[in-house]
Amino acid sequence: MFEKISTQWIDIAPGGCQGLLALPPAGTGPGLVLFQEIFGVNAHIRAVAEQYALDGFVVLAPDLFWRQAPKVQLGYEGEDRDRGIGLMKKLVPEELQADVKAAVAALRARPETAGRKAGAIGYCIGGRLAFTAAALTDVDAAVAYYGGGIHDQLQLAASIECPMQFHYAENDGGIPLAAVDKVREAMGARAEVFVYPGATHGFNCWDRSAYHPASAMLAHGRALTFLAEKLA
């Protein structure tokens, strides 16, 4: 999309695990693993990868569904949404954790990130995986957007030593504010937690009906500032 951004699919781990790598204009920079929603590494996730690459990060977006439907790209409504939910339900937690670890390791091993810090960011299921990465890998910072299920995995919070930032919608049918409070309490001073009034789940995605521009702008500004301070 952008002339200054170079993108390519790379191997992450043996067996077929791949991810989209987006290099910044400088060619090198701090690393950022970008975890997708249930819709695959689709046009929106690719654009987000390029967005953060333009900001100066070396971005790797792993294909979480590589075992079931390699490089699948789905829309947000109807049959595509149903398929995404179906693919998510087939994910095996142990395999998913292995993929998270492999993605972080692959990004750190790239020459473009040599000697630099690395972080994680994710949306929906990807937000939960950014939380997982913070607990199970050596990322230096992590950002989770409306990560479904984080409040049910708070036993991982004790393992998180890096700073985190959480973004939640006020009106998220799958993540009630009581769940947000649980995350805030479990993370304490290690995390910033933001709730966006009037927003619903998926508010950051400009291709979704839930897109809430004011919240998306504010959240991106906060996330970019946070990642720049912690990684760059």
Instruction: Please state the three-class secondary structure of 195-230 as a single string.
Output: EECCCCCCCCCCCCCCCCHHHHHHHHHHHHHHHHHH
The answer to whether 201 is a known catalytic residue is yes
Query: What is the mean predicted confidence (pLDDT) over 4-21?
Result: 95
pLDDT at residue 2 in the model: 59
Query: What is the mean predicted confidence (pLDDT) over 64-74?
Result: 97
End-to-end CA gap in the chain: 24
Domain boundaries, the chain: 6-231
| pLDDT tens-digit map of 128-163 | 999 999 999 999 999 999 999 999 999 999 999 999
Q: For the chain, what is the mean pLDDT?
A: 97
pLDDT at residue 71 in the model: 97
Coil, helix or strand at residue 140: coil
Query: What is the mean predicted confidence (pLDDT) over 185-190?
Result: 96
The residue written with tokens 């912690």 in the block is 230
pLDDT at residue 4 in the model: 85
1 pLDDT more than 70: no
**Amino acid found at 75:** G
Instruction: Give the rounded percent of residues in the chain with a pLDDT score beyond 90.
Output: 97
Closest to 166 in 3D by CA, of 152, 147, 189: 147
32 pLDDT more than 60: yes
| pLDDT tens-digit map of 188-213 | 999 999 999 999 999 999 999 999 99
Closest to 182 in 3D by CA, of 231, 214, 149, 144: 149
The answer to whether 124 is a known catalytic residue is yes
144-179 core/surface letters (b: 16 or more CB in 10 A; e: else)? bbbbbebbebeeebeebebbbbbbbbebbeebeeeb
The answer to whether 82 is a known catalytic residue is no
Homologous superfamily of domain range 6-231: Alpha/Beta hydrolase fold, catalytic domain (3.40.50.1820)
User: Rounded distance, CA 87 to CA 64, Å?
Assistant: 10
List 55, 63, 140, 172, catalytic entry: 172
List 124, 167, 205, 212, catalytic entry: 124
List 151, 167, 201, 212, catalytic entry: 201
User: Rounded distance, CA 230 to CA 137, Å?
Assistant: 16
pLDDT at residue 29 in the model: 98
Query: What is the mean predicted confidence (pLDDT) over 167-174?
Result: 97
Q: What are phi and psi of 174, to 5 degrees?
A: -95, -10
Other residues' Cβ atoms within 10 Å of the Cβ of residue 101? 16
